[in-house]
């Protein structure tokens, strides 16, 4: 056999004529996608491309998370817990990817960032409508935040819709109510535009599910999936906080907040407090 010189020979079947067929770049709209990284620093700072790509990839993954979470919410509505669990499992993997991805941005030193930070003006992740949509569908609703999107009616409209609709947790609890669990009427009739708050009457419901896991395996699994989802969300928030801490210290944020202190307070927020509270009761 002739030595191919560390080169893989192409096979005869490999398609090379795309004049009349869809190819990779066409399918993925790569022309557009790869022309969307537009640094604003002058002269262009080497590290701004990292900063943009870290954010754009995050937004793409968040887009998929929202797609999956909307579908999971619909699945609970349709009494289809199998599909809901499948969707949430995927979301958990995306969260892990997003949390791990912080290590790439952490290679940006404070000096490098300070060299192009001023060019970002008042733009900030706080204005990410997809991130806010994620918080809303998971239960951390806050009508006041809609004002940030006044200049972007399409995003504001999507957020208003999510604000008015049941969250993933609302649909899970309604599903439990349909199965005969003692979900208080006030929970089912709650003001959906408000953030979820701890409801003690739900703890015994979850205790019943945990203590009858053998008979209620899917429900037990769903509870644990939701806990994973919240834990993973907190891990992302924490990595963001630590990255901000090491990059800008205690400077105020470009979005106008106090910065690290403001982000620290997000770590006190919780989506499914009763699923954490039940842990204190288990085995006692
Ligand atoms: C060196 C990089 C980063 C720094 C220094 C930074 C800094 C900050 C600061 C100070 C805030 C508070 C709001 C403000 O006043 O601006 C904030 C909020 C936020 N950032 Fe970043 N950030 C960084 C990277 C990222 C990345 C990669 C994302 C991914 C999408 C992101 C998403 C967000 C979100 C969603 C918020 C709102 C959080 C909340 O409401 O609790 N940030 N960021
Ligand atoms: N808030 C950041 C700026 C920042 O990180 C940022 C700027 C524009 C678009 C996204 C950003 N990411 C997260 O807040 C800062 O205060 O430096």
Nearest ligand, measured from the Cα of 121? 2
What's the mean pLDDT when you consider all of the chain? 97
How many whole angstroms from 218 Cα to the centroid of ligand 1? 36
Q: What CA–CA distance (Å, rounded) separates 43 from 64?
A: 34
Q: Which residue's alpha carbon is nearest to atom 9 within ligand 2? A: 124
Testing ligand 1's pocket by substitution, the residue of 103, 104, 125 carrying the most ligand atoms inside 8 A of its CB is 125
Share of the chain above pLDDT 90, in %: 98
Q: From the CA of 266, give the closest atom in ligand 1.
A: 41
Alpha-carbon distances, residue 51 vs 39, 45, 46, 60, 120 (angstroms):
9, 10, 10, 15, 11
Give the pLDDT score at 99. Answer: 98
Binding residues for heme: 240
Give the pLDDT score at 3. Answer: 63
Q: Which residue's alpha carbon is nearest to atom 7 within ligand 2? A: 124
Testing ligand 1's pocket by substitution, the residue of 63, 111, 240 carrying the most ligand atoms inside 8 A of its CB is 240
Helix, strand, coil % in the chain, rounded to nearest 5? 65, 0, 35
CB atoms within 10 A of CB 229: 24
Q: What is the pLDDT of residues 87-137, one digit of tens each?
A: 999 999 999 999 999 999 999 999 999 999 999 999 999 999 999 999 999
The pLDDT of residue 1 is above 60? no
CB 233 within 8 A of CB 138: yes
Structure ipTM: 0.98
Q: What CA–CA distance (Å, rounded) separates 159 from 177?
A: 27
Q: How far apart are the first and last CA of the chain?
A: 73
Q: pLDDT-based confidence at 139, cuts 50/70/90?
A: very high
Q: Would you put residue 178 in left (φ > 0), alpha (ψ -120 to 50) or beta?
A: alpha
Q: What is the pLDDT of residues 3-12, one digit of tens each?
A: 679 999 999 9
Q: What is the pLDDT of residues 217-251, one digit of tens each?
A: 999 999 999 999 999 999 999 999 999 999 999 99
Q: What is the pLDDT of residues 33-62, one digit of tens each?
A: 999 999 999 999 999 999 999 999 999 999
CB 139 within 8 A of CB 272: yes
């Amino acid at each position: 056999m002739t030595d191919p010189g560390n080169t893989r020979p192409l096979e005869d079947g490999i398609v090379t004529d795309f004049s009349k067929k869809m190819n990779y770049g066409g399918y993925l709209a790569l022309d557009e996608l790869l022309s969307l990284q537009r640094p604003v620093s002058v002269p262009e700072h080497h590290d701004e491309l990292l900063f943009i790509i870290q954010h754009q990839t995050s937004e793409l993954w968040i887009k998929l998370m929202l797609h999956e979470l909307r579908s999971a919410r619909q699945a609970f509505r349709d009494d289809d817990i199998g599909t809901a669990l499948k969707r949430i499992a995927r979301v958990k993997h995306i969260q892990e990817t997003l949390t791990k991805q912080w290590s790439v941005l952490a290679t940006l030193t404070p000096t490098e960032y300070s060299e192009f930070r001023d060019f970002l003006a008042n733009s900030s992740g706080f204005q990410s409508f997809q991130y806010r949509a994620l918080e809303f569908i998971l239960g951390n609703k806050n009508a006041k935040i809609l004002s940030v999107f006044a200049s972007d009616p399409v995003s504001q409209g999507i957020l208003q819709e999510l604000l008015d609709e049941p969250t993933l947790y609302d649909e899970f609890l309604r599903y439990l109510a349909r199965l005969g669990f003692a979900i208080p009427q006030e929970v089912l009739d709650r003001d959906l535009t408000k953030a979820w708050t701890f409801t003690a009457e739900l703890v015994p419901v979850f205790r019943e599910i945990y203590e009858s896991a053998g008979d209620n395996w899917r429900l037990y699994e769903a509870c644990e999936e939701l806990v994973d989802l919240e834990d993973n969300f907190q891990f992302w928030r924490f990595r963001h906080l630590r990255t901000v801490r090491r990059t800008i210290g205690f400077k105020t944020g470009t979005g106008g907040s106090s910065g690290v202190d403001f982000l620290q307070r997000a770590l006190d927020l919780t989506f499914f407090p009763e699923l954490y509270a039940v842990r204190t009761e288990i085995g006692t």
